[in-house]
Structure 1
Amino acid sequence: MATINPDNHGLRLAVRYAVLILIAAIFVLPLLFMVMSSFKPTGQLLSHTSSLRAFLPVGDLSLDNYRAAFQRAPVGLFVFNSVLVTGVTVLLSLVVCSLAAFSFVYLRWRGRELILSIILATLIVPFETIAIPLLLLVSQLPWIGLDGIETTWLNTYRVQIIPWVADGLTIFLFVQYFKDLPGELIEASRVEGASWFQIYWRVVMPLAGPVIATAAILKFLVMYNQYLWPLIVVQQEQYRPVMVGLQYFFQLDTAWGEIMAYLTMITVPVLAFYLVLQRAFIASIASTGVKG
Protein backbone atom coordinates (compact mmCIF):
# COMPACT_ATOMS: atom_id res chain seq x y z
CA MET A 1 0.00 0.00 0.00
CA ALA A 2 1.46 3.32 -1.09
CA THR A 3 2.07 5.97 1.55
CA ILE A 4 1.68 9.69 1.10
CA ASN A 5 4.78 11.72 1.76
CA PRO A 6 3.71 14.67 3.97
CA ASP A 7 6.47 16.84 2.51
CA ASN A 8 5.30 16.28 -1.09
CA HIS A 9 1.68 16.85 -0.11
CA GLY A 10 2.59 20.11 1.60
CA LEU A 11 4.63 21.23 -1.42
CA ARG A 12 1.77 20.51 -3.82
CA LEU A 13 -0.62 22.37 -1.55
CA ALA A 14 1.72 25.37 -1.37
CA VAL A 15 2.12 25.44 -5.16
CA ARG A 16 -1.65 25.21 -5.61
CA TYR A 17 -2.28 28.13 -3.26
CA ALA A 18 0.47 30.16 -4.92
CA VAL A 19 -1.14 29.66 -8.33
CA LEU A 20 -4.57 30.59 -6.97
CA ILE A 21 -3.17 33.73 -5.33
CA LEU A 22 -1.45 34.70 -8.59
CA ILE A 23 -4.69 34.26 -10.56
CA ALA A 24 -6.62 36.27 -7.96
CA ALA A 25 -4.02 39.03 -8.09
CA ILE A 26 -4.33 39.27 -11.88
CA PHE A 27 -8.03 40.11 -11.48
CA VAL A 28 -7.88 42.12 -8.25
CA LEU A 29 -4.86 44.37 -8.84
CA PRO A 30 -6.38 46.36 -11.74
CA LEU A 31 -9.48 47.04 -9.62
CA LEU A 32 -7.30 48.00 -6.67
CA PHE A 33 -5.25 50.33 -8.88
CA MET A 34 -8.44 51.94 -10.20
CA VAL A 35 -9.90 52.56 -6.74
CA MET A 36 -6.66 53.86 -5.22
CA SER A 37 -5.99 56.11 -8.21
CA SER A 38 -9.46 57.64 -7.97
CA PHE A 39 -8.42 59.39 -4.72
CA LYS A 40 -5.10 60.80 -6.02
CA PRO A 41 -4.34 63.93 -8.07
CA THR A 42 -3.50 63.23 -11.71
CA GLY A 43 0.18 64.12 -11.36
CA GLN A 44 0.63 61.91 -8.33
CA LEU A 45 -1.36 59.12 -9.99
CA LEU A 46 0.97 59.07 -12.99
CA SER A 47 4.12 59.22 -10.87
CA HIS A 48 2.96 56.23 -8.78
CA THR A 49 2.38 53.96 -11.79
CA SER A 50 6.06 52.98 -11.83
CA SER A 51 5.99 51.52 -8.30
CA LEU A 52 3.84 49.56 -5.88
CA ARG A 53 2.57 52.88 -4.48
CA ALA A 54 0.00 52.76 -7.27
CA PHE A 55 -1.83 50.02 -5.34
CA LEU A 56 -1.54 51.63 -1.90
CA PRO A 57 -3.57 54.42 -0.24
CA VAL A 58 -0.61 56.79 0.00
CA GLY A 59 -0.18 60.39 -1.09
CA ASP A 60 -2.60 63.30 -1.17
CA LEU A 61 -5.86 61.35 -0.93
CA SER A 62 -9.15 63.23 -1.35
CA LEU A 63 -12.58 63.11 -2.98
CA ASP A 64 -11.71 65.91 -5.43
CA ASN A 65 -11.78 63.56 -8.44
CA TYR A 66 -15.31 62.42 -7.59
CA ARG A 67 -16.56 65.98 -7.21
CA ALA A 68 -14.87 66.99 -10.46
CA ALA A 69 -16.37 63.96 -12.25
CA PHE A 70 -19.89 65.01 -11.28
CA GLN A 71 -19.15 68.54 -12.46
CA ARG A 72 -17.81 67.38 -15.81
CA ALA A 73 -20.60 64.91 -16.66
CA PRO A 74 -24.04 63.88 -15.32
CA VAL A 75 -22.70 60.67 -13.81
CA GLY A 76 -25.89 59.82 -11.93
CA LEU A 77 -27.97 60.13 -15.10
CA PHE A 78 -25.61 57.89 -17.08
CA VAL A 79 -25.61 55.21 -14.36
CA PHE A 80 -29.41 55.37 -14.13
CA ASN A 81 -29.75 54.99 -17.90
CA SER A 82 -27.41 52.00 -18.01
CA VAL A 83 -29.05 50.28 -15.03
CA LEU A 84 -32.53 50.88 -16.48
CA VAL A 85 -31.68 49.69 -19.99
CA THR A 86 -29.65 46.74 -18.73
CA GLY A 87 -32.18 45.65 -16.11
CA VAL A 88 -35.17 45.78 -18.45
CA THR A 89 -33.26 44.01 -21.23
CA VAL A 90 -32.09 41.23 -18.90
CA LEU A 91 -35.62 40.60 -17.58
CA LEU A 92 -37.20 40.56 -21.04
CA SER A 93 -34.39 38.42 -22.42
CA LEU A 94 -34.77 35.79 -19.72
CA VAL A 95 -38.49 35.49 -20.42
CA VAL A 96 -38.31 35.54 -24.22
CA CYS A 97 -35.27 33.29 -24.58
CA SER A 98 -36.49 30.76 -22.01
CA LEU A 99 -39.86 30.55 -23.77
CA ALA A 100 -38.12 30.03 -27.09
CA ALA A 101 -35.85 27.35 -25.61
CA PHE A 102 -38.85 25.62 -24.02
CA SER A 103 -40.56 25.42 -27.40
CA PHE A 104 -37.42 24.02 -29.04
CA VAL A 105 -36.94 21.33 -26.40
CA TYR A 106 -40.43 20.20 -25.42
CA LEU A 107 -42.79 21.10 -28.27
CA ARG A 108 -42.92 19.23 -31.54
CA TRP A 109 -43.35 21.45 -34.60
CA ARG A 110 -42.06 21.41 -38.13
CA GLY A 111 -38.78 23.15 -38.82
CA ARG A 112 -37.69 23.64 -35.21
CA GLU A 113 -34.25 22.05 -35.77
CA LEU A 114 -33.60 24.27 -38.79
CA ILE A 115 -34.69 27.44 -36.98
CA LEU A 116 -32.59 26.57 -33.95
CA SER A 117 -29.58 26.00 -36.20
CA ILE A 118 -30.11 29.40 -37.82
CA ILE A 119 -30.38 31.06 -34.41
CA LEU A 120 -27.16 29.43 -33.24
CA ALA A 121 -25.44 30.45 -36.47
CA THR A 122 -26.02 34.10 -35.54
CA LEU A 123 -23.41 33.65 -32.78
CA ILE A 124 -20.63 33.88 -35.37
CA VAL A 125 -22.01 37.02 -37.05
CA PRO A 126 -20.14 40.16 -35.84
CA PHE A 127 -22.38 42.99 -34.73
CA GLU A 128 -20.51 45.43 -36.98
CA THR A 129 -21.89 43.64 -40.06
CA ILE A 130 -25.51 44.35 -39.09
CA ALA A 131 -25.08 47.70 -37.32
CA ILE A 132 -25.87 49.88 -40.35
CA PRO A 133 -28.87 47.83 -41.61
CA LEU A 134 -30.24 47.77 -38.06
CA LEU A 135 -29.72 51.52 -37.76
CA LEU A 136 -31.65 52.15 -41.00
CA LEU A 137 -34.44 49.91 -39.73
CA VAL A 138 -34.91 51.51 -36.30
CA SER A 139 -34.60 55.03 -37.71
CA GLN A 140 -37.77 54.49 -39.77
CA LEU A 141 -39.83 52.22 -37.51
CA PRO A 142 -43.02 53.82 -36.13
CA TRP A 143 -43.91 53.61 -32.46
CA ILE A 144 -47.23 54.21 -30.72
CA GLY A 145 -46.63 55.76 -27.32
CA LEU A 146 -48.31 57.98 -24.77
CA ASP A 147 -47.46 61.04 -26.87
CA GLY A 148 -48.95 59.57 -30.04
CA ILE A 149 -47.29 58.01 -33.06
CA GLU A 150 -43.54 58.51 -33.39
CA THR A 151 -41.77 57.93 -36.70
CA THR A 152 -38.40 56.83 -35.33
CA TRP A 153 -36.83 54.90 -32.47
CA LEU A 154 -33.69 57.03 -32.28
CA ASN A 155 -32.88 58.82 -29.01
CA THR A 156 -35.06 56.55 -26.88
CA TYR A 157 -34.65 53.78 -24.33
CA ARG A 158 -36.45 51.24 -26.51
CA VAL A 159 -33.86 51.44 -29.27
CA GLN A 160 -31.27 50.33 -26.72
CA ILE A 161 -33.48 47.54 -25.33
CA ILE A 162 -35.66 45.83 -27.94
CA PRO A 163 -32.94 44.83 -30.48
CA TRP A 164 -31.11 42.93 -27.70
CA VAL A 165 -34.01 41.11 -26.04
CA ALA A 166 -33.44 37.85 -27.94
CA ASP A 167 -29.99 36.45 -28.70
CA GLY A 168 -28.59 33.09 -29.73
CA LEU A 169 -26.29 32.58 -26.73
CA THR A 170 -29.05 32.95 -24.13
CA ILE A 171 -31.37 30.65 -26.08
CA PHE A 172 -28.56 28.11 -26.40
CA LEU A 173 -27.90 28.16 -22.64
CA PHE A 174 -31.56 27.52 -21.86
CA VAL A 175 -31.87 24.80 -24.53
CA GLN A 176 -28.88 22.89 -23.15
CA TYR A 177 -30.14 23.17 -19.59
CA PHE A 178 -33.72 22.17 -20.43
CA LYS A 179 -32.45 19.08 -22.27
CA ASP A 180 -30.83 17.83 -19.06
CA LEU A 181 -34.01 18.11 -16.97
CA PRO A 182 -35.82 14.79 -16.29
CA GLY A 183 -38.43 14.11 -18.95
CA GLU A 184 -40.57 12.31 -16.37
CA LEU A 185 -41.47 15.67 -14.81
CA ILE A 186 -42.96 16.90 -18.07
CA GLU A 187 -44.79 13.65 -18.71
CA ALA A 188 -46.26 13.59 -15.20
CA SER A 189 -47.41 17.20 -15.53
CA ARG A 190 -49.10 16.46 -18.85
CA VAL A 191 -50.88 13.44 -17.35
CA GLU A 192 -52.20 15.65 -14.55
CA GLY A 193 -53.67 18.00 -17.15
CA ALA A 194 -51.23 20.92 -16.92
CA SER A 195 -50.97 23.20 -19.94
CA TRP A 196 -47.65 23.84 -21.62
CA PHE A 197 -47.41 27.31 -20.08
CA GLN A 198 -48.14 25.91 -16.62
CA ILE A 199 -45.36 23.35 -17.13
CA TYR A 200 -43.01 26.13 -18.23
CA TRP A 201 -43.84 28.46 -15.35
CA ARG A 202 -44.44 26.04 -12.47
CA VAL A 203 -42.23 23.05 -13.30
CA VAL A 204 -39.34 24.02 -15.58
CA MET A 205 -38.48 27.59 -14.52
CA PRO A 206 -38.31 26.87 -10.75
CA LEU A 207 -35.60 24.29 -11.58
CA ALA A 208 -33.70 26.66 -13.88
CA GLY A 209 -32.13 28.89 -11.23
CA PRO A 210 -28.50 28.19 -12.17
CA VAL A 211 -28.98 28.84 -15.90
CA ILE A 212 -31.08 31.93 -15.16
CA ALA A 213 -28.24 33.33 -13.05
CA THR A 214 -25.64 32.48 -15.70
CA ALA A 215 -27.65 34.00 -18.54
CA ALA A 216 -28.49 37.08 -16.46
CA ILE A 217 -24.86 37.78 -15.57
CA LEU A 218 -23.62 37.32 -19.14
CA LYS A 219 -26.44 39.47 -20.52
CA PHE A 220 -25.85 42.12 -17.87
CA LEU A 221 -22.17 42.42 -18.75
CA VAL A 222 -22.90 42.68 -22.48
CA MET A 223 -25.61 45.31 -22.05
CA TYR A 224 -23.87 47.36 -19.38
CA ASN A 225 -20.72 47.58 -21.50
CA GLN A 226 -22.56 48.60 -24.68
CA TYR A 227 -20.75 51.42 -26.47
CA LEU A 228 -20.99 51.25 -30.26
CA TRP A 229 -24.76 50.83 -30.56
CA PRO A 230 -25.71 53.61 -28.08
CA LEU A 231 -23.12 55.86 -29.69
CA ILE A 232 -24.86 55.38 -33.06
CA VAL A 233 -28.52 55.64 -32.03
CA VAL A 234 -28.42 58.09 -29.11
CA GLN A 235 -27.43 61.71 -29.60
CA GLN A 236 -29.33 63.23 -26.69
CA GLU A 237 -27.54 63.34 -23.36
CA GLN A 238 -30.61 62.29 -21.36
CA TYR A 239 -30.51 58.76 -22.86
CA ARG A 240 -26.77 58.10 -22.90
CA PRO A 241 -25.34 55.14 -20.94
CA VAL A 242 -22.16 55.04 -18.89
CA MET A 243 -19.80 53.84 -21.62
CA VAL A 244 -20.75 56.67 -23.96
CA GLY A 245 -20.44 59.06 -21.02
CA LEU A 246 -16.80 58.06 -20.67
CA GLN A 247 -15.89 60.22 -23.68
CA TYR A 248 -16.72 63.35 -21.64
CA PHE A 249 -13.47 62.82 -19.74
CA PHE A 250 -11.29 62.84 -22.86
CA GLN A 251 -12.48 66.20 -24.13
CA LEU A 252 -10.12 69.19 -23.97
CA ASP A 253 -7.79 67.66 -21.36
CA THR A 254 -7.52 64.04 -20.23
CA ALA A 255 -8.23 63.98 -16.49
CA TRP A 256 -6.97 60.57 -15.42
CA GLY A 257 -7.95 61.02 -11.80
CA GLU A 258 -11.53 61.85 -12.79
CA ILE A 259 -11.55 58.92 -15.22
CA MET A 260 -10.57 56.54 -12.41
CA ALA A 261 -13.26 58.01 -10.18
CA TYR A 262 -15.84 57.61 -12.95
CA LEU A 263 -14.77 54.02 -13.64
CA THR A 264 -14.99 53.21 -9.94
CA MET A 265 -18.53 54.56 -9.72
CA ILE A 266 -19.79 52.73 -12.81
CA THR A 267 -18.22 49.47 -11.63
CA VAL A 268 -20.32 49.40 -8.45
CA PRO A 269 -23.57 48.24 -10.15
CA VAL A 270 -21.70 45.40 -11.89
CA LEU A 271 -20.20 44.13 -8.63
CA ALA A 272 -23.53 44.48 -6.83
CA PHE A 273 -25.34 42.52 -9.54
CA TYR A 274 -22.74 39.77 -9.45
CA LEU A 275 -22.81 39.49 -5.65
CA VAL A 276 -26.58 39.03 -5.75
CA LEU A 277 -26.36 36.14 -8.23
CA GLN A 278 -22.96 34.66 -7.38
CA ARG A 279 -24.30 31.60 -5.52
CA ALA A 280 -26.56 30.54 -8.37
CA PHE A 281 -23.76 31.29 -10.86
CA ILE A 282 -21.29 29.11 -8.95
CA ALA A 283 -23.92 26.38 -8.69
CA SER A 284 -24.39 26.53 -12.46
CA ILE A 285 -20.65 26.08 -13.05
CA ALA A 286 -20.53 23.20 -10.56
CA SER A 287 -23.51 21.45 -12.11
CA THR A 288 -22.06 21.85 -15.59
CA GLY A 289 -18.80 20.29 -14.42
CA VAL A 290 -20.57 17.34 -12.81
CA LYS A 291 -22.63 16.62 -15.92
CA GLY A 292 -19.47 16.68 -18.03
Structure 2
Amino acid sequence: MIRIFPRGTLMPFLFACTVALGVLLPLMMMVTISLNPDEQDILVSMGSLKSFIPETVSFQNYIDVWTDPARPFFRYMMNTAIVTVATLLISITINSMAAFVVAQGSLPGNKMVLLFVVATIAVPAESLVLPQLILAGKLGLVDTYVVQILPGIANALSIFLFFQFFSRIPKDLFEAAELDGFSFFQKYRHIALPLSKPVISAVAILQFLEMWNAYLWPVMVTRGPEVRPLTVAMGAFFGTNQRIPWGDVMAFAVSMAVPVILFFLLMQRQFIASVMSSGVKG
Protein backbone atom coordinates (compact mmCIF):
# COMPACT_ATOMS: atom_id res chain seq x y z
CA MET A 1 0.00 0.00 0.00
CA ILE A 2 1.39 3.37 -1.05
CA ARG A 3 1.32 5.97 1.68
CA ILE A 4 0.51 9.50 0.55
CA PHE A 5 1.73 10.87 3.88
CA PRO A 6 4.68 9.44 5.82
CA ARG A 7 3.76 7.94 9.16
CA GLY A 8 2.99 10.56 11.79
CA THR A 9 2.71 13.51 9.38
CA LEU A 10 -1.03 13.49 8.58
CA MET A 11 -2.20 15.23 11.75
CA PRO A 12 0.48 17.98 11.61
CA PHE A 13 -0.46 18.51 7.94
CA LEU A 14 -4.17 18.83 8.76
CA PHE A 15 -3.39 21.18 11.63
CA ALA A 16 -1.21 23.36 9.36
CA CYS A 17 -4.00 23.47 6.75
CA THR A 18 -6.52 24.50 9.41
CA VAL A 19 -4.28 27.31 10.62
CA ALA A 20 -3.64 28.42 7.03
CA LEU A 21 -7.37 28.55 6.31
CA GLY A 22 -7.94 30.56 9.48
CA VAL A 23 -5.45 33.13 8.20
CA LEU A 24 -6.39 33.13 4.51
CA LEU A 25 -10.20 33.10 4.71
CA PRO A 26 -10.50 36.62 6.21
CA LEU A 27 -8.06 37.87 3.57
CA MET A 28 -10.10 36.22 0.81
CA MET A 29 -13.26 37.82 2.19
CA MET A 30 -11.56 41.21 2.36
CA VAL A 31 -10.38 41.04 -1.26
CA THR A 32 -13.72 39.71 -2.53
CA ILE A 33 -15.72 42.49 -0.88
CA SER A 34 -13.25 45.13 -2.08
CA LEU A 35 -13.90 44.05 -5.69
CA ASN A 36 -17.69 44.33 -5.37
CA PRO A 37 -19.01 47.85 -6.14
CA ASP A 38 -22.60 46.99 -5.10
CA GLU A 39 -23.03 47.83 -1.40
CA GLN A 40 -26.44 46.17 -1.21
CA ASP A 41 -25.05 42.95 -2.64
CA ILE A 42 -22.19 43.10 -0.13
CA LEU A 43 -24.61 43.35 2.79
CA VAL A 44 -26.72 40.47 1.46
CA SER A 45 -23.71 38.17 0.91
CA MET A 46 -22.05 38.90 4.26
CA GLY A 47 -21.49 35.66 6.15
CA SER A 48 -22.21 33.41 3.16
CA LEU A 49 -19.88 31.63 0.72
CA LYS A 50 -20.48 34.48 -1.76
CA SER A 51 -18.37 36.74 0.44
CA PHE A 52 -15.33 34.51 -0.23
CA ILE A 53 -15.74 33.94 -3.98
CA PRO A 54 -15.76 37.04 -6.21
CA GLU A 55 -18.61 37.04 -8.73
CA THR A 56 -18.05 40.63 -9.79
CA VAL A 57 -14.60 42.09 -10.37
CA SER A 58 -14.47 45.88 -10.33
CA PHE A 59 -11.81 48.31 -9.14
CA GLN A 60 -14.30 51.11 -8.54
CA ASN A 61 -13.94 50.88 -4.77
CA TYR A 62 -10.17 51.28 -5.09
CA ILE A 63 -10.58 54.28 -7.38
CA ASP A 64 -13.02 55.86 -4.92
CA VAL A 65 -10.61 55.33 -2.02
CA TRP A 66 -7.51 56.53 -3.85
CA THR A 67 -9.18 59.67 -5.23
CA ASP A 68 -11.30 60.69 -2.23
CA PRO A 69 -10.39 64.34 -1.45
CA ALA A 70 -11.78 64.02 2.09
CA ARG A 71 -9.36 61.16 2.81
CA PRO A 72 -6.16 61.70 0.76
CA PHE A 73 -5.04 58.08 0.73
CA PHE A 74 -1.58 58.59 -0.70
CA ARG A 75 -0.88 61.40 1.77
CA TYR A 76 -1.77 59.05 4.60
CA MET A 77 0.36 56.35 2.98
CA MET A 78 3.35 58.69 2.81
CA ASN A 79 2.86 59.71 6.45
CA THR A 80 2.77 56.09 7.55
CA ALA A 81 5.85 55.22 5.49
CA ILE A 82 7.84 58.16 6.90
CA VAL A 83 7.01 57.31 10.51
CA THR A 84 7.58 53.57 10.06
CA VAL A 85 10.87 53.76 8.14
CA ALA A 86 12.32 56.47 10.40
CA THR A 87 11.38 54.51 13.51
CA LEU A 88 12.87 51.30 12.13
CA LEU A 89 16.21 52.84 11.18
CA ILE A 90 16.68 54.70 14.46
CA SER A 91 15.32 51.86 16.59
CA ILE A 92 17.48 49.13 15.06
CA THR A 93 20.59 51.30 15.46
CA ILE A 94 19.96 52.30 19.08
CA ASN A 95 18.57 48.97 20.31
CA SER A 96 21.39 46.96 18.72
CA MET A 97 23.96 49.28 20.32
CA ALA A 98 22.32 48.92 23.71
CA ALA A 99 22.17 45.13 23.37
CA PHE A 100 25.82 44.94 22.36
CA VAL A 101 26.89 46.93 25.42
CA VAL A 102 24.92 44.62 27.69
CA ALA A 103 26.11 41.45 25.94
CA GLN A 104 29.79 42.27 25.45
CA GLY A 105 30.45 45.26 27.69
CA SER A 106 32.30 45.09 30.97
CA LEU A 107 30.24 47.59 32.94
CA PRO A 108 28.96 46.31 36.31
CA GLY A 109 25.29 45.44 36.56
CA ASN A 110 24.78 44.59 32.87
CA LYS A 111 22.55 41.62 33.64
CA MET A 112 20.39 43.68 35.99
CA VAL A 113 19.98 46.30 33.28
CA LEU A 114 18.82 43.61 30.86
CA LEU A 115 16.42 42.20 33.46
CA PHE A 116 14.95 45.65 34.01
CA VAL A 117 14.57 46.23 30.25
CA VAL A 118 12.87 42.88 29.68
CA ALA A 119 10.54 43.53 32.63
CA THR A 120 9.18 46.60 30.83
CA ILE A 121 7.60 44.27 28.26
CA ALA A 122 4.98 43.45 30.91
CA VAL A 123 3.96 47.12 31.21
CA PRO A 124 0.82 47.76 29.09
CA ALA A 125 1.49 50.40 26.46
CA GLU A 126 -1.93 51.90 27.13
CA SER A 127 -0.85 52.84 30.66
CA LEU A 128 1.89 55.09 29.26
CA VAL A 129 -0.05 57.08 26.67
CA LEU A 130 -1.42 59.69 29.10
CA PRO A 131 1.93 60.80 30.59
CA GLN A 132 3.45 60.64 27.11
CA LEU A 133 0.66 62.83 25.75
CA ILE A 134 1.13 65.41 28.53
CA LEU A 135 4.88 65.46 27.87
CA ALA A 136 4.37 65.79 24.11
CA GLY A 137 2.02 68.72 24.68
CA LYS A 138 4.49 70.52 26.93
CA LEU A 139 7.27 70.03 24.37
CA GLY A 140 5.07 71.26 21.51
CA LEU A 141 5.40 68.03 19.55
CA VAL A 142 1.71 67.26 19.03
CA ASP A 143 0.68 66.83 15.39
CA THR A 144 4.20 66.13 14.13
CA TYR A 145 6.11 63.15 12.77
CA VAL A 146 8.52 63.33 15.71
CA VAL A 147 5.87 62.60 18.33
CA GLN A 148 4.88 59.43 16.45
CA ILE A 149 8.48 58.27 16.01
CA LEU A 150 9.98 58.82 19.47
CA PRO A 151 7.82 56.37 21.53
CA GLY A 152 8.62 53.53 19.12
CA ILE A 153 12.41 53.84 19.19
CA ALA A 154 13.25 52.09 22.46
CA ASN A 155 11.92 48.53 22.21
CA ALA A 156 12.59 45.98 24.95
CA LEU A 157 11.88 42.96 22.76
CA SER A 158 14.32 44.19 20.10
CA ILE A 159 17.04 44.71 22.71
CA PHE A 160 16.46 41.22 24.06
CA LEU A 161 16.61 39.61 20.60
CA PHE A 162 19.85 41.43 19.77
CA PHE A 163 21.28 40.50 23.17
CA GLN A 164 20.52 36.83 22.60
CA PHE A 165 22.34 36.92 19.28
CA PHE A 166 25.35 38.97 20.41
CA SER A 167 25.82 36.70 23.43
CA ARG A 168 26.33 33.69 21.13
CA ILE A 169 29.05 35.28 19.00
CA PRO A 170 32.36 33.51 19.81
CA LYS A 171 34.64 35.54 22.05
CA ASP A 172 37.58 34.61 19.82
CA LEU A 173 36.31 37.01 17.14
CA PHE A 174 36.35 39.97 19.51
CA GLU A 175 39.70 38.99 21.03
CA ALA A 176 41.25 38.82 17.56
CA ALA A 177 39.72 42.21 16.75
CA GLU A 178 41.25 43.69 19.90
CA LEU A 179 44.67 42.43 18.82
CA ASP A 180 44.13 44.26 15.52
CA GLY A 181 43.41 47.47 17.41
CA PHE A 182 39.63 47.56 17.11
CA SER A 183 37.81 49.81 19.57
CA PHE A 184 34.63 48.68 21.31
CA PHE A 185 32.48 50.52 18.77
CA GLN A 186 34.47 49.10 15.86
CA LYS A 187 33.83 45.58 17.14
CA TYR A 188 30.12 46.38 17.10
CA ARG A 189 30.24 48.08 13.70
CA HIS A 190 32.48 45.68 11.80
CA ILE A 191 31.80 42.33 13.51
CA ALA A 192 28.55 42.16 15.48
CA LEU A 193 26.31 44.23 13.21
CA PRO A 194 27.18 42.49 9.90
CA LEU A 195 26.64 39.09 11.53
CA SER A 196 23.23 40.09 12.91
CA LYS A 197 21.35 40.39 9.60
CA PRO A 198 18.85 37.61 10.51
CA VAL A 199 18.03 39.35 13.81
CA ILE A 200 17.77 42.71 12.08
CA SER A 201 15.24 41.19 9.67
CA ALA A 202 13.20 39.68 12.49
CA VAL A 203 13.20 42.93 14.47
CA ALA A 204 12.39 44.92 11.32
CA ILE A 205 9.36 42.76 10.53
CA LEU A 206 8.02 42.86 14.10
CA GLN A 207 8.47 46.61 14.46
CA PHE A 208 7.23 47.29 10.93
CA LEU A 209 3.96 45.56 11.78
CA GLU A 210 3.72 47.36 15.10
CA MET A 211 4.34 50.83 13.65
CA TRP A 212 2.34 50.34 10.44
CA ASN A 213 -0.73 49.19 12.41
CA ALA A 214 -0.41 51.62 15.34
CA TYR A 215 -3.69 53.39 16.10
CA LEU A 216 -4.13 54.52 19.71
CA TRP A 217 -1.10 56.81 19.94
CA PRO A 218 -1.44 58.38 16.45
CA VAL A 219 -5.13 59.13 16.96
CA MET A 220 -4.28 60.96 20.18
CA VAL A 221 -1.42 63.09 18.86
CA THR A 222 -2.47 63.93 15.29
CA ARG A 223 -5.11 66.44 14.24
CA GLY A 224 -5.26 66.51 10.44
CA PRO A 225 -4.16 64.71 7.26
CA GLU A 226 -0.77 66.46 7.23
CA VAL A 227 0.85 63.84 9.49
CA ARG A 228 -1.91 61.30 10.20
CA PRO A 229 -1.23 57.63 9.29
CA LEU A 230 -3.44 55.16 7.44
CA THR A 231 -4.87 53.52 10.55
CA VAL A 232 -6.40 56.76 11.79
CA ALA A 233 -7.77 57.53 8.34
CA MET A 234 -9.38 54.10 8.17
CA GLY A 235 -10.92 54.59 11.61
CA ALA A 236 -12.72 57.64 10.25
CA PHE A 237 -14.95 55.33 8.21
CA PHE A 238 -16.55 54.18 11.48
CA GLY A 239 -16.85 57.60 13.11
CA THR A 240 -20.05 58.78 11.46
CA ASN A 241 -23.72 57.92 11.84
CA GLN A 242 -23.99 57.09 8.15
CA ARG A 243 -24.00 53.55 6.79
CA ILE A 244 -20.50 52.08 6.61
CA PRO A 245 -19.34 51.70 2.97
CA TRP A 246 -17.91 48.20 3.33
CA GLY A 247 -16.61 48.08 -0.23
CA ASP A 248 -14.51 51.20 0.34
CA VAL A 249 -13.41 50.00 3.77
CA MET A 250 -12.15 46.70 2.37
CA ALA A 251 -10.46 48.40 -0.57
CA PHE A 252 -8.73 50.72 1.91
CA ALA A 253 -7.71 47.72 4.04
CA VAL A 254 -6.31 45.78 1.07
CA SER A 255 -4.35 48.83 -0.12
CA MET A 256 -3.00 49.26 3.40
CA ALA A 257 -2.01 45.58 3.68
CA VAL A 258 -0.10 45.36 0.38
CA PRO A 259 3.07 47.17 1.65
CA VAL A 260 3.14 44.89 4.71
CA ILE A 261 2.98 41.76 2.54
CA LEU A 262 5.66 43.08 0.19
CA PHE A 263 7.93 43.97 3.10
CA PHE A 264 7.55 40.51 4.60
CA LEU A 265 8.28 38.84 1.26
CA LEU A 266 11.39 40.98 0.98
CA MET A 267 12.63 40.04 4.45
CA GLN A 268 11.26 36.49 4.80
CA ARG A 269 14.49 34.62 4.00
CA GLN A 270 16.45 36.37 6.74
CA PHE A 271 13.45 36.16 9.10
CA ILE A 272 13.19 32.38 8.64
CA ALA A 273 16.95 32.08 9.14
CA SER A 274 16.60 33.98 12.40
CA VAL A 275 13.81 31.70 13.64
CA MET A 276 15.77 28.57 12.73
CA SER A 277 18.99 29.82 14.30
CA SER A 278 17.21 30.70 17.55
CA GLY A 279 17.10 26.99 18.37
CA VAL A 280 20.80 26.46 17.75
CA LYS A 281 23.24 26.98 20.60
CA GLY A 282 26.92 27.81 20.34
Residues 1:24 and 2:20 aligned together: yes
Match of 2:45 in 1: 48
Match of 1:68 in 2: 64
State the Cα distance separating 1:212 from its structure 2 match: 0.6
* Helix, strand or coil at the partner of 1:50: coil
Match of 2:246 in 1: 256
Specify whether residues 12 and 49 from structure 1 end up closer, same or farther in structure 2 by C-alpha distance, changes over 3 A only.
farther
Distance 1:287 1:166 in 2: 24
Structure 2, unmatched stretches of 5+, are none
Match of 1:212 in 2: 200
1:115 maps to which of 113, 138, 145: 113
State the Cα distance separating 1:156 from its structure 2 match: 0.4
1:66 corresponds to which letter in structure 2?
A: Y
State the Cα distance separating 1:248 from its structure 2 match: 2.5
State the Cα distance separating 1:20 from its structure 2 match: 2.4
Specify whether residues 9 and 255 from structure 1 end up closer, same or farther in structure 2 by C-alpha distance, changes over 3 A only.
closer
| Deviation larger for 254-263 or 36-45 | 36-45
2:80 corresponds to which letter in structure 1?
A: S
State the Cα distance separating 1:223 from its structure 2 match: 0.6
Distance 2:236 2:79 in 1: 16
Match of 2:152 in 1: 164
* Helix, strand or coil at the partner of 2:141: coil
1:270 corresponds to which letter in structure 2?
A: V
RMSD: 1.8
Specify whether residues 8 and 30 from structure 1 end up closer, same or farther in structure 2 by C-alpha distance, changes over 3 A only.
closer
Q: Per-residue displacement from partner, 1:248-275 (whole Å, max 9, x unpaired)?
A: 2222331111000000000011011101
For residues 187-198 of structure 1, the aligned pairs below 5 Å read 187-198=175-186
Distance 2:15 2:87 in 1: 37
1:30 corresponds to which letter in structure 2?
A: P
1:96 maps to which of 87, 94, 97: 94
TM-score (norm 1): 0.89
Specify whether residues 116 and 50 from structure 1 end up closer, same or farther in structure 2 by C-alpha distance, changes over 3 A only.
closer
Match of 1:124 in 2: 122
| Deviation larger for 14-23 or 158-167 | 14-23
Distance 1:197 1:36 in 2: 52
* Helix, strand or coil at the partner of 2:151: helix
* Helix, strand or coil at the partner of 1:289: coil
Residues 1:236 and 2:211 aligned together: no
State the Cα distance separating 1:168 from its structure 2 match: 0.8
1:51 corresponds to which letter in structure 2?
A: S
Q: Per-residue displacement from partner, 1:102-140 (whole Å, max 9, x unpaired)?
A: 111111113333322221111111112111111111111
Distance 1:56 1:8 in 2: 30
1:272 maps to which of 259, 262, 277: 262
Match of 1:202 in 2: 190
TM-score (norm 2): 0.92
* Helix, strand or coil at the partner of 1:135: helix
Q: How many residues align?
A: 277
State the Cα distance separating 1:12 from its structure 2 match: 4.1
1:53 corresponds to which letter in structure 2?
A: K
Match of 1:57 in 2: 54
Specify whether residues 17 and 9 from structure 1 end up closer, same or farther in structure 2 by C-alpha distance, changes over 3 A only.
closer
1:54 corresponds to which letter in structure 2?
A: S
Structure 1, unmatched stretches of 5+, are 142-151
Distance 1:75 1:191 in 2: 55
* Helix, strand or coil at the partner of 1:130: helix
State the Cα distance separating 1:9 from its structure 2 match: 5.4
Q: Percent identity?
A: 37
| Deviation larger for 62-71 or 171-180 | 62-71
Specify whether residues 97 and 10 from structure 1 end up closer, same or farther in structure 2 by C-alpha distance, changes over 3 A only.
closer
Specify whether residues 222 and 188 from structure 1 end up closer, same or farther in structure 2 by C-alpha distance, changes over 3 A only.
same
